Amino acid sequence: MKLGNNEIGGNSSVFIIAELSANHNGSLETALETIRAAKRAGADAIKLQTYTADTMTLDVKSSDFMLSQGTIWDGAYLHDLYKKAYTPWEWHEQLFKVAEEEGLICFSSPFDATAVEFLEKLGAPAYKIASFEITDIPLIELVASKGKPVIISTGIAGKEDIELALEACKRSGNNDIALLKCTSSYPAPIEEANMIMVKDLAERYNVITGLSDHTMGSTVPVVATCFGARIIEKHFILDKSIGGPDASFSMDEKEFTEMVKAVREAEKAIGKVDYTLTEKQKKGRDFSRSLYVAEDIKAGEELTSENIRSVRPGFGMHPKYYNNVLGTKAVKDLKKGERLAEEKYAK
């Protein structure tokens, strides 16, 4: 998968996405400065959400349309929440432009066909399917038909949902797909992160996998990286004091910077399967154990567990020969602290 000049997958670095979501709190200037801050924090991309309250839901004040699932938004009507949280479409062109100036990839999650067509006009390089849209097969088919990378969050998905979404992409001739493990709680409890799924999704469906994270802190992104995540997405906010629907589970610039650093260090720590030793590691073998003379030994005297020992440093014979040496006789006088070698004893 390729986004701009960024290769995603294989041996490439983890692709880190800062999710703007509603964290502009209705201010274009805040949105623009958030993009600049995301660049400073080490993000590779900024992701928007493209919808209006009317493209997302109906303006109905009934229990069906009121949140009451134990979320931080309980008591709010869906239409009111989305009206407050949406990113005005007239901002998008400028947001894309500033992101490009900053060297960030900018793309979005569309929530209906009008949003897809709007983003196409802006030259969006990829599309993200949000967790709650994974069941919207017509939307996925439309997005996939544009021939661009499709990144799908799996927050509410069972196996059948995932398989239907993948089939929809492939049916539209698009195999450029990534699946993000996601826990759709806000914030998400760390014990529900289930990061082993990152590895399982990759192996089961043969796609690039990653994490769309709503937990607090950097632990889960680091664990995801260790399980093979090639994409990490995290909500990003300029300043939590701004407030807004997503502020409580978003990272500010300092926190995001620390997360990026932790992920990059985790990548380095993972390394590769390689049993050869570096020059430094070879030198470190000087401090391993080897066979030394532990007491003065006269020529013809037997080598025993009292006068021969496996000790540090590692300049003598390999300890694997210890049992072979015991019971043999010194061919010459040996002094305490002398390295044992084959020519110094005989059966």
pLDDT per residue over 11-54, tens digit each?
889 999 999 999 999 999 999 999 999 999 999 999 999 999 99
What is the structure's pLDDT at 115? 98
Q: Domain map of the chain by residue range?
A: 9-51+86-270, 279-346
What local confidence, expressed as pLDDT, does residue 71 receive?
74
So what's the pLDDT on residue 340? 97
pLDDT at position 114, please?
98
Q: Which CATH architecture has domain 9-51+86-270?
A: Alpha-Beta Barrel (3.20)
Q: What is the pLDDT of residue 10?
A: 82
What pLDDT shows up at residue 4?
83
User: What is the CATH number assigned to the segment(s) 279-346?
Assistant: 3.90.1210.10
What is the predicted pLDDT for the residue at 119?
A: 98
- Give the C-alpha distances (Å, rounded to integers) separating 82 from 52, 53, 57, 187, 205: 7, 5, 8, 18, 33
- At 244 the pLDDT is 82
Could you say which residues of the chain have pLDDT below 50?
Answer: none
Query: For residue 186, what pLDDT is reported?
Result: 81
Q: Is 329 exposed, middle or buried (0-12, 13-18, 19+ CB in 10 A)?
A: middle
232 φ/ψ angles, rounded to the nearest 5 degrees: -125, 125
> pLDDT at position 75, please?
85
Q: Give residue 227's pLDDT.
A: 97
pLDDT digits (tens, 9 = 90+) for 197-206: 999 999 999 9
